[in-house]
Amino acid sequence: MCILLLRGNQSGFLQPQFRFQSRRSMSQLHNLLLDSLLGTKHIDSAALIKLQEKSLCVTSPGFNIMPSDIQTLVNGFAKNPLQTRREGLYFKEKDYKCVRADDYSLYAKNGNTGVVVVKTRLHLLVATYVAGMYPSICVEATEKLGEYLRKKGN
């Protein structure tokens, strides 16, 4: 079982505290996604995509990602980052301007909404934010969870 607690440190940044046991079920991954990302109140929806199968592993309630959207996100990492930044992303029937693209992260926005995608060895971690949410907290929480998953070999 994996539990992630996000607590503010003295400088106001979220600090992850993890507890991990050897077996993780889909339910535990789902709880990890809900607790560590949606728990910030600055992430509207989140999903974990299996890279190799290009399929959804877990998702937050009501967040449906079409296979074409999964392919778009996978392709965003397969392309040259400069090309992805130039072209942007078409995700969930919206055009997003790409503001960051590198080997491990894609950040894209459309007005006051956006999507943050973090790549690990086995997964893509996807988080979205909407108006009234702080994109910086969405980025920080998603990147920290991605870093944690990479350290665990995922």
Average pLDDT over residues 104-116: 97
Categorise residue 62: left if φ over 0, alpha if ψ from -120 to 50, beta otherwise: left
Span 4-34, pLDDT tens digits: 444 444 545 444 444 433 345 677 778 888 8
CB 16 within 8 A of CB 4: yes
Retrieve residue 20's tokens.
């991990």
Span 113-135, pLDDT tens digits: 999 999 999 999 999 999 999 99
pTM: 0.82
Q: pLDDT at position 23, please?
A: 41
Among 10-19, 59-68, 77-86, 99-108, the range scoring the smallest mean pLDDT is: 10-19
Q: pLDDT at position 25, please?
A: 62
Tell me the three state secondary structure of residue 41: coil
- For residue 116, the Cα-to-chain-centroid distance in whole angstroms is 5
Question: What gap in Å lies between CA 86 and CA 147, rounded to an integer?
Answer: 26
pLDDT band at 153 (very low <50, low <70, confident <90, very high): confident
Span 45-62, pLDDT tens digits: 999 999 999 999 999 999
Question: What gap in Å lies between CA 76 and CA 73, rounded to an integer?
Answer: 5
Tell me what the pLDDT averaged over the chain comes to: 86
